Amino acid sequence: MDLPEASARPPHDVLLDRAHADRAGAAARGRGGGAVAVERPMPKTPASVSNEFPAGFAGLLAKARSLATGLAITARVSREKPVTVLYPAEKLKVSPRWRGALRLRGALGRDEVTLLSAIPGEHNALIENLHTTGRLPGCVGNCPANVDARGQSKLIADGMTAEAYELVRERNIMPGVLGRICHH
């Protein structure tokens, strides 16, 4: 098998210093060659990300300019009115054309929560019935483990944490997997 010699074809990638870059680029383009890489020496002090200031009086002026810029930004932002609403004291007026769901439709009504306890065949029908009537949040209706998050929240609010734990444990057989998705 005959292999061409290395000197028979010019190399496509050439590394040259800056003095020969123009001539080599023209020569490479004339022969249909490839890219020419130019070696550029690294600067003695690389650019810093920490915005180091120069020494002496110029550095003092740069520091003062930086401080004045920061104070100007602070003064400009402090003149703006706050967007915070102190909720119990102030009520936020919402436009009547706002299309979000603002009201609870009984999904989380604390007094109306009944614990879901049924055998596995009837459990899905019970969830579907509550979901279609708007009495069940979507996460409970579509939960792969059939966890009753409403019941858990009600039991925790009533101070019965052990019962809330058992309610989840009777349905959720994969807590290591589903615990990464949902905290119930």
The tens-digit pLDDT sequence of the chain (184 residues) is 455 454 444 444 445 555 555 666 666 566 655 555 656 666 666 555 466 788 889 888 988 888 899 899 999 988 888 777 777 787 778 777 777 764 544 545 545 666 667 676 777 777 777 777 777 776 776 777 777 777 787 788 788 888 888 888 887 777 777 777 776 5
Q: Phi/psi of residue 37, each to 5°? A: -95, 135
Question: Residues with Cβ < 8 Å from 12, sequence gap 6 or more?
Answer: 28, 33, 34, 35
pLDDT at 98: 72
What is the pLDDT at residue 72?
Answer: 92
What's the confidence (pLDDT) of residue 9? 45
Give the separation between CA 33 and CA 28, rounded to whole angstroms: 4
pLDDT of 74: 92
pTM of the model: 0.35
pLDDT at 104: 46
Cα–Cα dist 134/118, whole Å = 19
pLDDT at 125: 78
Per-residue confidence (pLDDT) for residue 8, from 0 to 100: 47
